Amino acid sequence: MSKTIKGILLAGLMGLSAGAMALTLKSDAPERYVVKKGDTLWGISERFTNDAWQWPEIWYLNEKIDNPHLIFPGDELSLVMINGEMRLTVTKRGEASRTVKLQPTARVEPIESAIPAIPQDAIRGFLRHNRVVAPAELDNAPRIISGEDARLMMGAGGKVYARGEFGEEVSAAYGVFRRGQVYRDPQTNEVLGLEATDIGQGRVEAKDGDIVTLELERTNQQVAIGDLLLPTEDRALLANYYPKAPAKALNGQILAVSGGVTQVGQYDVVVLNRGERDGLEAGSVLLVKKTGNVVYDRVAGERVQLPDERAGTVMVFRTFEKMSYGLVMRATRPLRVGDKIENPNQ
């Protein structure tokens, strides 16, 4: 069923009726847009609609274009009519998206240069290093028992010795972690996960029984006796997921904010008490709502709870079974830990 167009109908500019439209477009949405370096899918979506999670309704995969699900700087995007509905699609490829031929039968697509869904600088560390695990995973993890020359604190370039159950196949490298915050659901008190704080990474040099020798290749802070080892994750930075509303109804809360601050603003990373089991995935968009104030009705002589108010938007970029990380994309009011999250289509 078609949606009502707010403002001036772009369909009118193109000689089309409002009834053919499938989504709400901005009155000043451009008919064509050339993608620039630094653009994000979120930003482009907001040029055409006030609701960035409508991207799946806007976007049309043009089969005549190579990699139609990826957008590169220099690409020309145009509004076109597809099966009676206005859609956005790549109509002309720019230089950045052209293939580079290495051999007559091989070619390399520059996937890494595709524009990301959200600003990567804000989330890069959380994609590559931060990890949420079950408490038992750290209970059973190998531990650092000594540094070279019996040192108690070690940095990059140093050598450490770790002991534990490594199994028959020892990984080439391990991440060094320290126990972080335990996250619990505010309503049920269920343990949702334990944040393993990234300390650094070491490359395995030798194994003797249950003791492994590692050279520290990277450290964020001094490695200490008792720090734990987890296998490294081959996790690429996601550039090709699209903003979208979750597939089902969902309600939850902001559990925490990176950096331990109390006020939350645009491009802050937040921890959410909903995850994969609740239908969230990378790209899921959630509304943030603040609980309405309780006021006193003098005529009725009673206290009244005012309605919740929309205060921002969060896009999920990494999920775990019971919780997830999200990036605040918009904050119309100061956000705080405890603010509510919900499916924007509810």
236-275 pLDDT per residue, tens: 545 567 899 999 999 999 999 876 666 788 999 999 999 9
Does one domain contain both 290 and 331? Answer: yes
pLDDT score for 23: 62
Q: Which of 97, 118, 148 is the last residue of a domain?
A: 97
Does one domain contain both 27 and 78? Answer: yes
Q: Which of 47, 80, 97 is the last residue of a domain?
A: 97
119 inside domain: no
Does one domain contain both 270 and 317? Answer: yes
Residues 6+ apart with CB under 8 A from 143: 162, 163, 164, 226, 227, 228, 229
Q: Per the structure block, which two tokens stand in for 150?
A: 């019996």
Does one domain contain both 217 and 174? Answer: yes
Distance from the Cα of residue 154 to its chain's centroid: 32
Instruction: Give the pLDDT confidence of 151-186 residue by residue, as tens digits.
Output: 778 888 899 999 998 877 888 899 999 999 899 999
Distance from the Cα of residue 248 to its chain's centroid: 19
Does one domain contain both 273 and 182? Answer: no
* Residue labelled with tokens 């206005």: 86
CATH number at residue 325: 2.40.10.410
Rounded Cα–Cα distance for residues 129 and 148 (Å)? 25
Q: How much is the average pLDDT of 110-131?
A: 75
237 inside domain: no
Query: Is 8 within 8 Å of 43 (Cβ atoms)?
Result: no
What's the predicted TM-score (pTM) here?
A: 0.78
Q: Which of 203, 231, 259 is the last residue of a domain?
A: 231
Q: How much is the average pLDDT of 213-223?
A: 93
The gap between the terminal CA atoms of the chain, to the nearest Å, is 17
195 inside domain: yes
Query: Is 160 within 8 Å of 214 (Cβ atoms)?
Result: yes
314 inside domain: yes
Higher pLDDT, residue 129 or 247: 247
pLDDT greater than 80 at residue 104: no
214 inside domain: yes
Does one domain contain both 173 and 217? Answer: yes
Does one domain contain both 166 and 92? Answer: no
pLDDT greater than 70 at residue 131: yes
5 inside domain: no
Least confident of 32-36, 43-47, 112-116, 142-146: 112-116
Rounded Cα–Cα distance for residues 78 and 86 (Å)? 10
Residues 6+ apart with CB under 8 A from 141: 164, 177, 228, 229, 230
- Taking phi first (over 0 means left), then psi (-120 to 50 degrees means alpha), and beta for anything else, what does residue 29 get? beta
Containing structural domain, residue 75: 10-97
315 inside domain: yes
Handedness of CA 330, 336, 342, 346 (dihedral sign): negative
Does one domain contain both 74 and 148? Answer: no
Does one domain contain both 140 and 92? Answer: no
Does one domain contain both 265 and 200? Answer: no
Residues 6+ apart with CB under 8 A from 90: 62, 65, 68, 71, 75, 76, 77
Higher pLDDT, residue 278 or 107: 278
pLDDT score for 10: 35
Does one domain contain both 323 and 227? Answer: no
Instruction: Give the pLDDT confidence of 6-25 residue by residue, as tens digits.
Output: 333 333 333 333 333 346 78
* Residue labelled with tokens 């921890």: 271
For the chain, the domain total comes to 3
Rounded Cα–Cα distance for residues 274 and 267 (Å)? 19
Q: How much is the average pLDDT of 95-111?
A: 45
Rounded Cα–Cα distance for residues 26 and 47 (Å)? 8
Mean pLDDT, the chain, whole residue set: 83
Distances in Å between the Cα of 106 and the Cα atoms of 72, 101, 103 are: 21, 7, 5
3-class secondary-structure state, position 1: coil
Rounded Cα–Cα distance for residues 7 and 263 (Å)? 34
Instruction: Give the pLDDT confidence of 132-150 residue by residue, as tens digits.
Output: 998 888 999 999 999 988 7
Highest mean pLDDT among 36-45, 55-64, 93-102: 36-45
Does one domain contain both 43 and 133? Answer: no
pLDDT greater than 90 at residue 293: no
Least confident of 74-83, 111-120, 194-203, 251-260: 111-120
Q: Torsions phi, psi of 109, nearest 5?
A: -90, 130
283 inside domain: yes
pLDDT greater than 80 at residue 228: yes
CATH number at residue 86: 3.10.350
